[in-house]
Every structure is written in C-alpha cells, then in structure tokens.
Structure 1
C-alpha cells in the first residue's frame, strides 16, 4: 500500500494482539515500533489459548511458519461428573497453543529491531498530523498512528472512556499446567483427545492439552486448565490477591506467588469436588496461579489518530475463548480500514470503530451470561450449543 510508505506507527503492548497489528501495519507500508512494558521476553505464565480463525489468520494467510508446528488439537468435547462418569460427549475439533509458543512465533515474524522492552507508556497527546506517546522512562515518541494494545490494565482506556474501569465478576480463575507425561495411564486415557469440562455447583473447570516447551509430542504436552471459583468482592478477595512478597494484585497472582494456604485449600477442594481424572491434574500442579475475572468495555476505540484494541478496549471473561481472537480481529479490521482509506488515517479509524464496538458489546454480553449460568444460577448444561466457544457467536 504505497499511501503509507514513509508513514510511522507506534504499537503500545507487545503481546499477541499488539504483534498481530504491528505485522499488519508493516505490510501496509508503515514503519512500526512496538513498545512493551515488560523488561524481558514475555512468557504468558504457561497459559493455554483456544485457537480461533482470527487468531491464526496471520499464519494461514501471511506467515511462512506452519500453524501445525505451533498447535495441538483434540477431537471431542466431553463432560465428566464427580464419579468420573461421562455425562456428555460430542465430536468437535478444537486446536490450542500455549501463549508463549504463539507469542514467540509472532515475534519471530516481526523481529526484534523495532521491538522495545521495558518501556511503560503512561500517556499520549495528538495533533493534526501526528500523535505523541510519553513513557515513564522520560522517553517521548511520535508517529502518524498510535495503537494501544496494552491489555486489561491499559493506561489509555480512561482517556477514551473515563467510566470504563474493570468490573469484578464475583469469581476468580485458578489456572495451571501439568506435563502430560506426569499423569498415570488411566488419567491420560480419560483426558486424551478431548477438551474436558467438569461442572459442579456454582463452578466449573475446563482443561485441554497445549504445546510444552519441548514440542508437540504427547510426552512434551502440558494439560492446561482454568477452574472458576466464587470469591466475594471486598476483604476476602483483597487478601487472596496479596502475594507471598506482600504485594497486592488487582488482576492476577503469578505462579509461585499465591499464598500457600490458598493453594492447599484449592487442592483439597479439587480432590473432594472434581472428577478423579480432573482432580489428578489440579492437585499435582506445582505452581497454580490466580486470575481475577473482570470485565471492561470502552465506549470508544478511536480518537483521531489513536486506536484502542483487544483487552485494552474490551476485556471479556474467558468463557467464549475469544480474547486473543478479538484482539486479532480488531487488528485485521483496522488494517482493512486503513487499506481502504487512501492514506487518511483519521477517516480509517472513524470507519473502523463502529463494527468493533458492536463486536465487543455482543461478546461481553454473551460471556457475562455464560458466567452467570456457571457461577450463580447453576444453569450451565452440558451440551448446550449456546455455551460453545466463538468470537462472533456460539461455535462461530
């Protein structure tokens, strides 16, 4: 796209959504610099990602890397009960990756020359022909286009919508991984080739295999899970989110930093409440961690030459497995709008915004409903098609 040759773009946030957007902007002709607040390479704490079409689109359409080298897959969705009996099973293929595997693949395509670690953006201003970003280090950078992809704790969201702060859902997610090779043969047999759910009163857990650091072979894979558990807002949640160093957290407590008493309690409850195969994974996890499940949605995503995408614009609960897909979809739609705008960045952002706001609204409404069904009304029914993953709707 020759209309952007010589134009510059800054992407704040070097995670999956930020990198996808940076790659697409570079393909349009922009000179792109990515600024990541973390001082070292990101690792995603080993979390798994369910791969949706928008998430993998870069690899299916533009990259020379093979998506099959980055992902695992299963052929079934199954639900187990407390005794371990199968209560529902249907043939349905899903693919997965680990956050770190996918991030490293995107970074390999983008390169590190214009990827800057340890730069925390704290504010921005814009003018008729440029936008300027300020960093806590004192650094100031300007570009023709600025994209904030700085995640659930975005510093820019308040500038777009002062009322779009995080709203706690009433529950947290216990997350963790365990090497598949550490499971006994019976447990492996129960969990193999499936994404597994276990629904208990006011709670549910889901688990599936993801690539390990060693590769995609079964013995290298990790069993990844998230177990949603209710914790009242207020002192109980605040105390739980104080890590072993005495540092309070608002969105997560990292692996190895969750207070031992909470880990022990969670594992005791897992042994008592969950199907034996599911409990075996949870109780054997060495360093489970806590994710505080919250929602946020900005009523604006475009402001002149500055855009807000992904979790920065709309942080939605994980139940639809669509968070990374939404970030990627925002990036692809932004690139398409820029490509159609003949070099007019402001016009492109204005055109791009309405559909992405509508998408974030529909996604957020759906995942809030799913969470209510699981955690509070006990109407999460195994096999209900409305509970399927998907960015654009159940199964879509």
Structure 2
C-alpha cells in the first residue's frame, strides 16, 4: 500500500531506477520521468560490479544470481611491449554491461510508471510538496523529488547554478569489440583479467563484458576498453568534440558521431604506442566514441523535499570504476534515511552529510589517480590506492 505520498524520480538510468525501486518499497507512489524518447538499453559500455551495484540483485528475490549477468576475472594484468605481461596479481572482479544491468532494474520496476520523452525544465517547492515543469507543458506534483539525471542534471543547474563541470585535461576513447572479432591471443590476454597498459602520460583499461544479447559464453562476449589521452582545453578539445552535426559535445561524442579524422588518428597512434592486444581492440571497434573526463562536485545534495543523487550530484572520473556503485549507494542510503525519519525534509537533511563526505572523498581519490597516470607518470600497478573501489583501499 502506497501511504507516503508521491515521489518523482527525474532520470531513468541506473541511479533513477534504483532509487525508484527502493522508494516504492518505502510506500511511495513512484513515477520516473526520462527525457529521452526511447528506453535506454543499448547505451553505454562496461561497468565493474561493486557491492553497492549488485545489492538490489542480492537482497531481493530474483530468478538469477549476479553470476548470471556478469563475467568474472581472476587477475589484474598489465601488458607491456609485444603483449608481454609486465605485472600480474590476483584480482576477483566481476564485470557486466550497462545495458544488462539496466534491463534487470527496468524489468523489476516495469514500464507503467516510467515516462519517456519528458524533459524536466523547472521546479518550485513549498511546505507541502514540489511542482515540476516539463518542456512538453506538463506539470507534476509530489511530496518528494529525486534528481538522478546524470552529468548534465537539470536539477543541479536549477538548485546550484554556480556549480560547473571542471575538465580534467584528458578524454577517454571508449568502445566495445565482439570477442570473436579479435585474435585468439588478444582474447586470451583479456579473457579472465582486468587488463591495463600504462605508457607515458596515458593508460588503457580493458575487460570482457556480456555480449550485446547478454551472452556470457567465450567467443560471444564483448571486450570493453577506455583509453585516456591528454587533450588541451580550448580550441583543441572543442574541435575534437564537435560531432558530425556540428554540435560541440559537453559530455561525450556518441558512437557514429566522432569525426573520422580523429578516429583514424587515434587508431594510428594506438598501433604505435600500445601493446598489440590493446591496439587490436581499438582497430576493430566499429564506432569508437569519446568521453570527456570531468569533475563535478556540489555543495549540497538535499534541498527541502528535493535530493540530488549519482552523477547529478558528484560526477567522478572513471578510474575507480565507482559511478554506478555511488549512484546505488546514494539511493540505498536515501531509502534508509526515509525509513528512519517520516518527515521528508528532516530525513534528507540527515542523509546529506555522509553523502557529501563520500562524494568529495571519491573525487579527490580519482583526481590523484588521473594525475599519476596522465601527468606525473607515477602510476604503480602494485599500489592499492590505484585499484578500483568506491570507498578506497582503507575501507
């Protein structure tokens, strides 16, 4: 029975779906409003499954396990010249695809209260609730609003307009390659590994993820990567991130929209700079795309009856592979705060301090990781401070 009033979640991605599912359990009548006109499966690449990321699957009844939707690794492996193994240690990570995890959450939430093509543009709130306005002319009212609308969050812009993304000084070339499209040597090197290669002022990270159809079988999976390259802010970055339509992208240049000359240049440089396995992934990617690496930090996440979660609050560089984990953790902690305190503004006020602390800590750690790989050339494969994780090596 829904007895806590209505909650609206703005953004139907990983953070939004997790929050919506948990709020519905708290007794809210929940609606998600997603600005895109199509469901989001098929977007995004690989993700690393950290405990917060998979908590919904593990703690709620499902006809499958985490192992059924992910691929495991046994080692962290660094490749050097000619694919020689430069460093290796045991590392039991699990990897999935953004699409696979989205489908799990969406199937659990269902389509009935998931509204497509609704772009939130403004809001007002009073003592009793929040009114949202949409580009379509629609207005909606709720007792709680959660903005989970990502890096370009409307909620953040309206509530903290002075907070601006800060460019990190480098971009990530990303892509996924069908496993059966690469040589056996390349597939074997990445098969059971979190694989890296570190070169002067740059590094690449690679691992296997489910196939486009969710397949986990060898030969039917995908090999996912992100290659970090320094690009000067200003004209050089603007030119590279102008897509084929002539629009300069603020966050990413989508697959199929990157100017061909930059793709060709990147592939040529990969062949001369990276180990053959990494260069092969890049060469065989049909449509590599660009992620602009940004830092975003808010001063507040709670505003009366409105909350910011996930990348709508803190957007961290990918080095800790913690984006989806932080989004899920924000949602779980928000639900716990609302369970402990029935008054929504008081619950959000109590929830906020620990989330701000975690967000700022994560941003500080990934900035240090990026500096060590891209600028100071002090990356050490054996240093636990450079390993994946939302909470860092000491937690």
Q: TM-score range by the shorter chain?
A: over 0.9
**Contact 1:160/1:300 (<8 A) preserved:** no
Query: How far is the alpha carbon of 1:242 from its aligned partner?
Result: 1.0
What residue in structure 2 maps to residue 20 of structure 1?
A: 18
Moved more, 359-368 or 272-281: 272-281
What residue in structure 1 maps to residue 298 of structure 2?
A: 298
What residue in structure 2 maps to residue 120 of structure 1?
A: 119
2:370 corresponds to 1:333: no
Structure-2 separation of matches of 1:31 and 1:65: 25
Any stretches of 5+ residues in structure 1 without a counterpart? none
Structure-2 separation of matches of 1:163 and 1:109: 37
**Contact 1:164/1:297 (<8 A) preserved:** yes
- CA displacement 1:296-339 (0-9 Å, x = unmatched): 01100000000000000000100000011111000000000000
Query: How far is the alpha carbon of 1:81 from its aligned partner?
Result: 1.1
**Contact 1:46/1:176 (<8 A) preserved:** no
**Contact 1:207/1:226 (<8 A) preserved:** yes
Query: How far is the alpha carbon of 1:65 from its aligned partner?
Result: 4.1
**Contact 1:51/1:97 (<8 A) preserved:** yes
Q: Secondary structure of the residue that 1:229 maps to in structure 2?
A: strand
What residue in structure 1 maps to residue 97 of structure 2?
A: 98
What residue in structure 2 maps to residue 57 of structure 1?
A: 55
> How is 1:195-344 mapped onto 2 (pairs within 5 angstroms)?
195-214=194-213, 215-341=215-341, 343-344=342-343
Structure-1 separation of matches of 2:31 and 2:17: 10
What residue in structure 1 maps to residue 67 of structure 2?
A: 68
**Contact 1:36/1:119 (<8 A) preserved:** yes
**Contact 1:70/1:101 (<8 A) preserved:** yes
Query: How far is the alpha carbon of 1:6 from its aligned partner?
Result: 4.6
Structure 1 residue ranges (4+ consecutive) displaced by more than 6 angstroms after TM superposition: none
Structure-2 separation of matches of 1:198 and 1:6: 51
Moved more, 152-161 or 232-241: 152-161
Query: How far is the alpha carbon of 1:394 from its aligned partner?
Result: 2.9
What residue in structure 2 maps to residue 378 of structure 1?
A: 377
What residue in structure 1 maps to residue 393 of structure 2?
A: 394
Moved more, 205-214 or 61-70: 61-70
Query: How far is the alpha carbon of 1:160 from its aligned partner?
Result: 3.1
Match of residue 30, structure 2, among 29, 32, 50 = 32
Query: How far is the alpha carbon of 1:384 from its aligned partner?
Result: 1.4
- CA displacement 1:192-249 (0-9 Å, x = unmatched): 2101100011100000000012311112210000000000000111111111122221
2:129 corresponds to 1:130: yes
What residue in structure 2 maps to residue 170 of structure 1?
A: 169
Match of residue 45, structure 1, among 39, 43, 46 = 43
Any stretches of 5+ residues in structure 2 without a counterpart? none
Structure-2 separation of matches of 1:208 and 1:395: 25
Aligned residue pairs: how many? 393
Q: Secondary structure of the residue that 1:393 maps to in structure 2?
A: coil
Structure-2 separation of matches of 1:123 and 1:291: 27
Q: Secondary structure of the residue that 1:220 maps to in structure 2?
A: coil
Q: Secondary structure of the residue that 2:133 maps to in structure 1?
A: strand
What residue in structure 2 maps to residue 156 of structure 1?
A: 155
Match of residue 9, structure 2, among 8, 11, 19 = 11
- CA displacement 1:95-153 (0-9 Å, x = unmatched): 01111111011000000000001000111110101111111111100001000000000
- CA displacement 1:69-112 (0-9 Å, x = unmatched): 21111111010112321111011110011111110110000000
Moved more, 343-352 or 240-249: 240-249
Normalising by structure 1, report the TM-score. 0.97
**Contact 1:160/1:298 (<8 A) preserved:** no
